[in-house]
Structure 1
Amino acid sequence: MTEDSFESVWDALEDSPAEAANMRARAGLMVAIQEAVGGWQLTQAEAARRLGVTQPRMNDLLRGRIDKFSLDALMILAISAGLTVEWRVVKSAA
């Protein structure tokens, strides 16, 4: 039995490097939004209104239901939360 090693859990779980990169980006955005919203000291309903989403959608976000959010949706939510999103693209070592 061989032991594989991965840089990210997403590299282990996803079928392709592109899917893993998408999930890493989505996870990073989700965590940043959760942290921003947590600092507001608002109820889920109030935070949802502030971001322009429904309370059930806010609940999905705060519970980390990443499968319910596209990268685009998370980008829009991050901006709505007052975050600045910066991307860094580098050439792969492989």
Structure 2
Amino acid sequence: MAGERFASIWDAISDTPEEAANMRLRSKLMASLAERVKGWEVSQAEAGRRLGLTQPRVNDLLKGKIDKFSLDALVNASARAHFRIEFILEEEDDAAMA
């Protein structure tokens, strides 16, 4: 593995490409949600009310505990935070599958 390059940290630490893709999406959603919550300048309890999460879950979100959140939970919270999520699916350069 010495000298091997990865597209993202998730590619480097994940066991499979599928897991890395899931982690990339979750990390982007978490970062956007954390930024939104901080911008609200409200208590974690109020942020939780807005997002449909408990205060401890908001705390986990703000601390970046990615393992605590499924992709579904983050999509749902993002919708409640009034984010519009667009999905772009692109073929990888080396993925010419027959």
> TM-score, normalization: structure 1?
0.95
- Percent same amino acid among aligned pairs? 52
Q: How does 1:37-48 map to 2 (within 5 A)?
A: 37-48=37-48
Deviations 1:36-75 (A, max 9, x none): 1111010111111111211111111111100000000000
Q: In the alignment, what sits opposite 1:21?
A: 21
Rounded Cα–Cα distance in structure 2 between residues aligned with 1:86 and 1:21: 16
Name which of structure 1's ranges 65-74 and 46-55 shifts more when overlaid on structure 2: 46-55
1:5-84 alignment runs, 5 A limit: 5-84=5-84
Where does structure 1 lack aligned partners over 5 or more consecutive residues?
none
User: How many aligned residue pairs are there?
Assistant: 94
Note the alpha carbon deviations across 1:17-47, whole angstroms, 9 max, x for none.
1110000000000001111111101011111
TM-score, with normalisation over the residues of structure 2?
Answer: 0.91
Instruction: Report the alpha carbon displacement of residue 89 of structure 1 after superposing the two structures with TM.
Output: 0.4
Shift of 1:92: 1.1
- Paired with 1:25 and 1:2, the residues of 2 have a C-alpha distance of 27
- Following superposition, the deviation at residue 2 of structure 1 comes to 3.2
CA distance in 2, matches of 1:83, 1:29: 10
Q: Distance in 1 between matches of 2:2 and 2:45?
A: 49
Greater relative contact order, per chain length (Cα 8 Å cut-off, separation 6+): 1
Secondary structure in 2 matching 1:39:
helix
What's the Cα RMSD here? 1.1
